[in-house]
């Protein structure tokens, strides 16, 4: 009897803490998902690379200049990431923490985290040479997180949170821009079609692994038009300032393969919602028509010349533009938080449509 009483008291306490911590959004009684779990690269990494022995970090100024208190957290932009803004849109905290942040503990575990690592990709050959976290390690870190969650709040609560959460993966740009197209060994081993198929095998394994951990909602974010990134134009379009269309065609064809993969594997995952989110079209429209969205500059990043600077090349000694809100890009590779806000709103609407559609779930 005493043991039953203790177990009951623990369960009641866990539920009480959960109701205390879950934030409320005006006009919304409860979050639309229990938690947000994100995997991928620098577009969604809020600082997991900070403790790693890598140069691919951004935990120094001028990164974070528009973050609360002007604090550089390891986010590769001037303020909040897409994932922070998505978390808020879903009715969760307005900052999605890094899973490796020492402050990520206690009640913060309840509403999710980013397990992403800047410069990571689908392929191990993209991540390992730079001493960042491959996708396999990101999933392993999720498993460790799940153990911590269960220890603190009980297995039933942990399983419920995971099963009602949205899992999102957003990666792949570094596989092409910083691996295939600059590494002669990779290009010597694979044609571009073979390399794309290799990445799809990694994506399939990711879906298999997180579904085994209890994921029931999995969003796969497609590639952006990475031929329009300032650094890629600088490096590859020697004759002008226009997007490097070869890269955009690779991104488009890979996105088509992701969508085909999702349709093919759906029967293997009954009860699991797996859906595609398009990043390409909205970002391309912003880049092609910046003034429509309130931007002035889409060719250069705000930091330095904006043509090549990123990571350690964008540092406290680098001059940055006075008003990042007028720029599509913060550095030569990553958008500003103002651009991320527009994309986050678009991805949020796509996610809502998928989650609420009776035809998308098996």
Contact status, residue 76 vs residue 63, Cβ threshold 8 Å: yes
The two most distant CA atoms of the chain are separated, in Å, by 79
Phi and psi at residue 126, to the nearest 5° = -80, -40
Is 334 tagged catalytic?
A: yes
Strand partners, 300: none
Q: Report helix, strand or coil for 217.
A: strand
Query: How big is the chain, counted in residues?
Result: 362
DSSP symbols for 158-203:
HHHHHHTSEEEEE--HHHIIIIITT-HHHHHH--HHHHHHHHHHHH
Q: Which one of 42, 87, 118, 202 is the catalytic residue?
A: 42
Distances (CA, A) of 109 to 14, 26, 92, 97, 169: 12, 23, 12, 9, 19
> Shortest CA distance to 49 belongs to which of 11, 76, 80?
76
Is 332 tagged catalytic?
A: no
Distances (CA, A) of 203 to 39, 222, 260: 11, 11, 12
Q: Rounded CA gap, 360 and 265, in Å? A: 13
Q: Which one of 34, 99, 175, 334 is the catalytic residue?
A: 334
DSSP label of 253: H
Q: Which one of 127, 331, 332, 346 is the catalytic residue?
A: 331
Q: Report helix, strand or coil for 162.
A: helix
Angle at the Cα of 28 (from 23 to 33), degrees rounded to 5?
65
Find all residues with CB under 8 Å of 225, minimum gap 6, and list them. Answer: 243, 247, 248, 251, 280, 283, 284, 287
Which value, to the nearest 10 degrees, does the dihedral of the CA atoms of residues 163, 272, 357, 340 take? 70
Is 331 tagged catalytic?
A: yes
> Shortest CA distance to 304 belongs to which of 291, 318, 315, 284?
318
Tell me the catalytic residues: 42, 331, 334
């Amino acid at each position: 009897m005493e043991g039953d009483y203790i177990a009951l008291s623990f369960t009641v306490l866990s539920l009480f803490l959960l109701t205390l911590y879950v934030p409320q959004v005006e006009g919304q009684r409860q979050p639309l998902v229990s938690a947000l779990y994100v995997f991928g690269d620098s577009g969604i990494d809020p600082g997991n690379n900070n403790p790693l022995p890598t140069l691919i970090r951004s935990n120094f100024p001028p990164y974070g200049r528009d973050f609360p208190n002007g604090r550089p957290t390891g986010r590769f932009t001037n303020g909040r990431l897409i994932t922070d803004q998505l978390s808020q849109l879903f009715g969760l905290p307005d900052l999605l923490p890094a899973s490796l942040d020492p402050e990520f503990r206690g009640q913060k575990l309840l509403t999710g985290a980013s397990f992403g690592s800047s410069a990571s990709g689908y392929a191990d050959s993209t991540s390992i040479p730079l001493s960042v976290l491959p996708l396999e390690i990101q999933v392993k870190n999720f498993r460790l997180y799940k153990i911590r969650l269960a220890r603190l709040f009980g297995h039933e609560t942990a399983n419920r949170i995971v099963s009602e959460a949205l899992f999102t993966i957003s990666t792949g740009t570094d596989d092409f821009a910083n691996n295939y197209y600059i590494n002669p060994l990779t290009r010597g081993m694979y044609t571009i079609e073979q390399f794309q198929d290799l990445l799809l095998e990694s994506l399939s394994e990711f879906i298999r692994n997180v579904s085994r951990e209890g994921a029931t909602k999995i969003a796969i974010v497609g590639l952006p038009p990475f031929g329009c990134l300032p650094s890629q134009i600088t490096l590859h379009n020697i004759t002008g300032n226009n997007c490097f269309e070869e890269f955009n065609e690779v991104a488009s064809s890979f996105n088509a393969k992701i969508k085909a993969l999702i349709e093919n594997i759906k029967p293997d995952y009954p009860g699991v919602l797996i859906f595609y989110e398009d990043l390409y079209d909205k970002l391309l429209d912003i880049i092609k028509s910046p003034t429509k969205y309130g931007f002035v500059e889409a060719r250069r990043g705000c930091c330095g010349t904006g043509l090549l600077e990123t990571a350690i090349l964008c540092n406290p000694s680098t001059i940055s533009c006075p008003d990042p809100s007028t720029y599509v890009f913060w550095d030569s590779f990553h958008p500003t938080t103002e651009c991320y806000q527009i994309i986050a709103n678009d991805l949020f609407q796509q996610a809502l449509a998928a989650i609420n559609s009776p035809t998308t779930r098996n």
